[in-house]
Amino acid sequence: MTLFEQRPIRPMLSTSGDPFDSEEYIFEPKWDGLRTILFLKNGKVELQNRNLRDVTLGFPEIQEVKNGIDAVDAIIDGEIVVLTQKGLPSFQQLQPRFGITDPHEARTLAHSTPATLVAFDLLHLNRKDTIDVPAQQRKLMLRKILHEGPFLLYSDHIASKGKQFYKLAKRKGFEGVVAKKIDSKYTPGLRSTEWIKMKSTETIDCIVVGYTAGTGERSTTFGSLVLAGYDDKGKLFHLGNVGGGFNHQELQTIKERLVKLERKTPMIHGQVESNTPIVWVKPMIVCEVEYGSITDDRKLRFPRFKRLRTDVDPKTIQI
């Protein structure tokens, strides 16, 4: 029995760590997209995401990659991305492609914002599983069968010099780097230290302009803080909401401060998405937030509360 008979397949996952050098690891860019496992068999391509859902219909252009894979059958791990003119992945441009099941809509989006599969691992080739083959050898096998094109790229790597590669990747605009032990096997569904994600986090000071009602254990405090900053014209704009990173004492302390600042109308324009009601407050509280990146429409990705900044005047928070 091969992996084809064991579908769906949970992808191998990484742990987090700081940049490092090692002769025992290879290093490749971290692509900011939709983790996808591709199945090629009988001239047909099928796609499965990390949540084990079939996403084949949502990306009709990826069917073209079958002409660029020199194999009878294959299972390839990779990332579906939408590339900018600079060749960098744009998660913001990819998001409208998620969850599309209507073939006509999928074809329209494939034309307006075409996606590319970036292949980085080989799980099966020509009727044989390859997950027990060492990682570096799997990469070489994968490279030999791929013919790159507009919808298919190979994720290349370097050996040993992880720190230098990380700095270069960040300077080029990538989200981070993934280190993979050269002799590691592919273990489906396992979060392993043999794959290490080196991803930077930045911090930013934000103004709290509201909070969402809490539920469950947070029913007496809040669910998330609505964040904003001043633009160059002195107007507040929405940066996103942060709901993680708080300890119990911080939830209590911040809620006590928020209640004293409540107001009926928002200080920011536009719709703010929330699953629970929003209570608006005067822009008097500043907090420091960690985040992964900022989207083109100025929203924080992966925000996490770090601390209150009682030493910072909200009027100085220009972004």
Q: Cα–Cα distance between 300 and 201 in angstroms, integer?
A: 11
30 carries an active-site annotation: yes
Task: Give 118: exposed, middle or buried? Use CB within 10 Å, 0-12, 13-18, 19+.
Answer: buried
> Residues 306, 288: contact at Cβ < 8 Å?
yes
Place of tokens 């987090």: 16
Task: Give 5: exposed, middle or buried? Use CB within 10 Å, 0-12, 13-18, 19+.
Answer: exposed
Q: Can you spell out the DSSP letters for 254-280?
A: HHHHHHTTEESS-SS-S----SS-EEE
As given in the structure block, the two tokens for residue 229 are: 């900053």
**Looking at 30, 180, 181, 199, which residue is catalytic?**
30
Q: Cα dist. 79→116, 133, 218, 312 in Å?
A: 8, 21, 36, 40
Residue 59's closest CA among 100, 28, 22? Answer: 100
Place of tokens 């079958």: 66
The sign one gets for the Cα dihedral 277, 282, 285, 287 is positive
Which positions are annotated as active-site residues? 30
